[in-house]
Amino acid sequence: MISRRNIALTLTGASMLLSLSTVTHAASFDCEAKTLQPDEKAICDNRPLNDADVKMVTTFDLLSGLMAMGARGTLQDEQTAWLKKRQACGADTSCIKAAYDERLLQLDATYKKINRPL
């Protein structure tokens, strides 16, 4: 007969195994894709860069929703230009980190400029 304690231990063990085998995904692309660029591969393999990607894309998405159509287009153009800059880093993680730091500062400055009702 299976006891409650054995069931609890089994569930705990299964939960731990699942958490250890979880595949890392960055927010803005699929780390499982076969056509990853060197910068994307570096981001997928580096937790702090992965976290920076999650923060950047979340911030970008929130800002996009707050902006008027014309400003949203400008924000998208800036994002496209930034992405080219990040891609130029290749697999250089310090370059990628600097690119994220710079972009997050830019997005923060953009947020501070948004007109909000009093």
pTM: 0.75
Contact assessment for residue 94 and residue 42, using Cβ atoms and an 8 Å cutoff? no
Contact assessment for residue 52 and residue 86, using Cβ atoms and an 8 Å cutoff? no
Average pLDDT over residues 54-76: 91
pLDDT per position as a tens digit, 35-59: 999 999 999 999 999 999 999 999 9
